Structure 1
Amino acid sequence: MLKRITFRGLSFLIICILLFSSISSTAFASDDWQSNFKLPKWTYITYVGGGVLQETDSSGRHKVGGDVILRHYDNIAELEATVQRYNNGWHNTSYKWSDRDNAGAGVAEYIYLNTGTYRMRLVIKVYSPFGVLLEETTLYTDETII
């Protein structure tokens, strides 16, 4: 009976650790970002969010950017976020930022935008601790009309 209780207790502990580790990783992500990307599941990426927000801050600037969170804290995330504007096709603007860090990366900036249709281009690369490229994906957020 002691083995059974120990096994159940250990199982419960492992389940709790997995549950809380997944909850805490999404706490870093912005609640405002689009995160419903319809793509196959990734191997090393847990969460991707991003976008161009229509609402402005008190200075009239729009929040733009993106976030990526990885499954393993020792892997390295590299995120390149570019604002694109629609003008007879999608074109990159001069607004481009990048971030690189263990377990995740994020970019959030406030910028002035003219009237138009915008979206974010998010290029995500995941590297092992030894610098080996493990996964790469390019995502485009939904359009935002300003």
Structure 2
Amino acid sequence: MTRGYQNGEEPVVKVEIDVYKRKMVVEAAYNAEDKTPSRLHLNQVLEYLWEAEGGELERLLYIEYAEIDNEATKVVLQNIRTRRQLATTTGFKVKPGMTSEDWAALVQSPFGKVSRRMATAGGTAVKAFKVDSRRFSPTINLWNDHLTVKLG
């Protein structure tokens, strides 16, 4: 779909799709590194991949962004933890009507925008955000956030 590869080897977007569970796991999302003029937005890439696997956008229920490496999203997650007085490795959920500031921040975050565009394309909406902090390795004290977005 694009020439956006580093050294011709590393894909800029890696996704695991399970049409039957109605879920996709975005394992890498570095399409911003693709400097070609006709670069696709992440939601366009994800929509294409979902449909290429036989999925219909209106049936997509979960988008999980594994190992968040996007600085803007990391800041949003840390700000929410600070407001809620949570430890840096504590997970949390955000639904409409819970805390409007948290909801607005996640919806406007880069992955929130991608999810919202995909939901709109499928005739649905973003229903909830869930953040889990997972240990990167059992031997290394390094944690990564995973953001799961529920659509419907």
Q: Which TM-score applies when normalising by structure 1? A: 0.28
**Rg larger in 1 or in 2?**
1
Q: Which TM-score applies when normalising by structure 2? A: 0.27
Q: Which has the larger share of strand? A: 1
